[in-house]
Structure 1
Amino acid sequence: MNLFSGTIGQLENSIQYASAKNNAISNNISNADTPNYKADQVTFKSALDNEMAGIQTKATNERHLNVGGEENKPYRISKDTSTTYNHNGNNVDMDKEMSELAKNQIYYNSLIDRMNGKFSSLQSVIRGGN
């Protein structure tokens, strides 16, 4: 029996994704002047699409979903080698990175607020509604 109906696990995966994205963005910003550095990207949807494309499953009941096994990380980190913005071979676009950092921070904060709300609800139930 899953006590939390998977919500906390999904929030945990999302927080891990946001943390990995923040680390990649921070790494990109810190290497903005490094010659031939290629920016890291953290992607979720393409990783999901790639994983789902190669999965072979067999449903033994019409109510079964056609899904495969789970991977530890629901995201993938890759290098963007397709572009060069600077004369030294570097492809870090500071405006884009700062925009992504702000967007990711808002996303991360909303996940933390949601997780806190879940734990507050559990705490309220444990205390008997007080």
Structure 2
Amino acid sequence: MDWLNNNAINLSQKSLDFLWQKQRVISENVANGDTPGYKAKYVTFEDELRSNLSKFGNGQFAKSSDIAKEIQNSKMMIHQSDDESIRMDGNNVNVDVENVELARTQLQYQYMANQISDQFTRLRMVITGE
């Protein structure tokens, strides 16, 4: 078993990448909150990951390498929001909603970083016996 490159670490790393990209896109939306005609963007990843991993949920035995491949094949996509604008200039960014989502995403990022740290702490404890 590869202790440093397992599916839990791979999934955590992929989640951190997604959350980092999501923070970047939300920050871009906030920065363009007053730009006429700007359309908000959003990032998707979770639905594709869920879809890719759903084939292993039917009680069928899955090899770790197959799960790892599906985690790596799950891609992030940046989309433009189709929400209608209530503003006359065509901008559909709701800065209040974006700021709340940014705060939520930052908390999720901190949680995922702590999860990875905890995994390595547990490994260190097993290796050193402390």
Identity of aligned residues (%): 31
Contact 1:13–1:74 (CA under 8 A) maintained in structure 2:
no
- Runs of 4+ in structure 1 over 4 Å off: none
Q: In the alignment, is residue 77 of structure 1 matched against residue 78 of structure 2?
A: yes
Aligned match of 1:36 = 37
Aligned residue number for residue 122 of structure 1? 123
Question: Which structure is higher in helix share?
Answer: 2
- Extract unaligned runs of 5+ from structure 2: none
Corresponding residue number in structure 1 for 2:2: 2
Normalised by the size of structure 2, how large is the TM-score? 0.76
* Corresponding position of 1:63: 60
CA distance in 2, matches of 1:79, 1:73: 19
> CA 1:75 to 1:119, structure 2 compared with 1: closer, same or farther past 3 Å?
same
Higher radius of gyration, 1 or 2: 1
TM-score by length of structure 1 reads 0.76
1:41 alignment partner, SS class: strand
Q: Paired residues, what number?
A: 119
Counterpart secondary structure, 2:79: strand
Q: CA 1:74–1:100 in structure 2 vs 1: closer, same or farther (change >3 Å)?
A: same
